[in-house]
Homo-oligomer: A and B are copies of this chain.
């Protein structure tokens, strides 16, 4: 299997880039606002790039790993039924959600810390463990919210490159842990690469490392893991280990616009994060009620994973058709190498109404494409064939 697009395709791309300005990027950049780009994953420039007036012309919104198969009808109904109560803080309702999540994860309520999306919690952990110059061991690349917040308060990042298959190198990460390490941050399955570590390997890693430093396992995409929830490290938390598991409703539940996430950990670990958290006071009533309706809706979750898998097979077909390498994906997105400058590629895809993201690491440009509806994957495949 080829590892990237062909040289001919790359040359063709370069020629086109030199001959025409396909998208007027500066005018889009001008829309940039003071969104908190220093810390949140997407920069002002990137956000501006994805801005479409009224979303007109967008055929495939595949840049933010959103899940168009959610939220469930039950979740939407829970919101609709509660709108008249929007003037009330959801005190009791949030407590009920916390109870339900605790039951779902098999821990007591004091092991749960809620946040309006996991970004809130990644911030709290990044700050808590990055302060005082603590060293945070991470993969490179990785989902960069927690690392950015850690750096923002003086934390130092120790970056371990992914291997040639874009897998996290847990062994090398373990070797990097020393007395100055304040946190080890890992993501499984991994964003932005889409790769996975087996449940057993990750639990062994946590059990071994957590005696030296706390391990933060970001399981945003765990429902898409081939082992499903059995790949989770929640059992390490249940055993009282020095492990924080972070989960979100944004992915498999389709809640990106509703903002619900949570951490599962020993109360003494959560206590380190709480000075930088409102403990769920930031969750809206619609989000709380929707999450309560969705948290253990196994039929919906299974449908959500299945639909994603079907769209993923369509994507693989399109990638193979243009000779692109397929990095096996265990998430609701996939990464593949492109023989073209990332910005150029994004602009050309955008011209076709297809929004994706790009990375550059290992001296290679990469596209990350989210898994959307089938019509979106078809639009992506068609655009890709034209652009490369």
Contacts and interface: CB of A to CB of B under 8 A. Distances in A.
Interface of A: 31, 33-40, 42, 47, 50-52, 55, 61, 64, 66-71, 75-76, 79-80, 83-92, 94-95, 98-99, 109-113, 115-117, 119-120, 123, 127, 149, 152-153, 250, 254-259, 267, 270, 274-287, 290
15 contacts: A33-B109, A34-B270, A35-B94, A36-B278, A39-B279, A47-B91, A75-B86, A79-B79, A87-B257, A89-B256, A119-B281, A120-B282, A152-B275, A257-B286, A258-B285
Contacts of A275: 38-39, 127, 149, 152-153
Nearest to A61: B88
Contacts of A110: 33-34
Contacts of A85: 257
B256 A87 contact: yes
Nearest to A260: B284
Most buried by B among A36, A37, A51, A55: A36
B87 A71 contact: yes
The 8 A-B residue pairs whose C-beta atoms are closest, nearest first, are A36-B279, A257-B285, A116-B282, A152-B275, A34-B110, A87-B254, A86-B257, A259-B284
A90 B256 CA distance: 8
Contact of A86 (B36, B71, B94, B153): B71
Nearest to A117: B282
B127 A276 contact: yes
Given A36-B113, A90-B257, 16 more contacts: A33-B110, A34-B270, A36-B279, A39-B278, A47-B95, A64-B88, A66-B87, A68-B87, A76-B83, A86-B254, A87-B254, A127-B275, A149-B275, A258-B284, A259-B282, A284-B284
Most buried by B among A47, A67, A91: A91
Nearest to A251: B87
A244 B179 CA distance: 40
A31 B95 contact: yes
A285 B279 CA distance: 20
Contacts of A285: 257-258
